């Protein structure tokens, strides 16, 4: 089965039809929830990153700021991935050949790997090494901002 067949199968599935053919407000609702997930994700990463950079909540240990923020990161990511998957299935042939979508997936992979392998390890201690803390904050924020930018471009390609 080729890539094109897989995309066609997905877009022709009952699930895809339920999303795209029944009522356009279902698609709009998914888009709105996708944005909420992203806003939650990005703002909590921003708050933790600002603490890592020594710009906010400096009288609080990194670990304590991160504990509250990290829960929201995963809630936001779960919401964005769940709604994003449904959006992809409903328009697989549109997204499958969109360079902005491909770029977004590449950046997303890099951002999630950075989050799991670097960021979460750095913030798991109360006082991480400053240079490492700053580097992971900048890298993580850059990648997630780029995911958002590429994602917003998909609809205009």
Partner 1 sequence: MSTLLALAERIENTPFAVALAESRYAFPVVEGVHLIGLALSVGLIFLTDLRLVGVLFKDVPVPDVLRQLRPYVLIGFAAVFVSGALLFWAEASMLVENPAFPFKLLFIALAGANALYFEWVTAKRIPFRAAQARNAGVASLVLWTLVIVCGRLIPYMQLS
Query: In whole angstroms, how close is the CB of 100 to partner 1 at the nearest point?
Result: 8
Residues that bind partner 1 (CB under 8 A): 24-25, 28, 31-32, 35-36, 38-40, 42-44, 46-47, 50, 55-57, 59-60, 64-65, 68-69, 72, 100, 145, 148-153, 155-157
Q: Count CB atoms within 10 A of the CB of residue 17.
A: 12
Nearer to partner 1, 53 or 110 (CB): 53
Spatial separation of the C-alpha atoms in residues 20 and 11, rounded to whole Å? 9
Return the number of the residue (10 or 86) whose C-beta is nearest partner 1. Answer: 86
Our CA angle for 113, 42, 82, nearest 5°, is 70
Q: How far is the CB of 1 from partner 1 (least distance, A)?
A: 32
Helix (H, G, I), strand (E, B) or coil at 53: coil
Residue with the two structure tokens 């050949």? 97
């Amino acid at each position: 089965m080729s890539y094109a067949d897989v995309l066609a199968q997905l877009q022709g599935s009952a699930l895809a039809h339920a999303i795209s053919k029944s009522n356009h407000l279902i698609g709009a609702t998914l888009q709105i929830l996708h944005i909420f997930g992203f806003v939650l994700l990005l703002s909590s990463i921003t708050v933790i990153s600002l603490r890592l950079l020594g710009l906010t909540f400096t009288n609080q240990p990194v670990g304590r700021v991160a504990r509250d923020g990290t829960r929201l990161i995963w809630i936001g990511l779960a919401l964005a991935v769940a709604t994003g998957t449904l959006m992809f299935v409903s328009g697989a042939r549109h997204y499958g050949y969109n360079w902005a979508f491909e770029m977004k997936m590449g950046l997303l992979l890099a951002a999630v790997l950075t989050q799991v392998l670097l960021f979460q390890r750095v913030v798991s201690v109360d006082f991480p090494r400053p240079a490492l803390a700053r580097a992971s904050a900048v890298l993580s924020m850059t990648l997630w901002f780029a995911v958002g930018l590429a994602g917003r471009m998909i609809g205009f390609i």
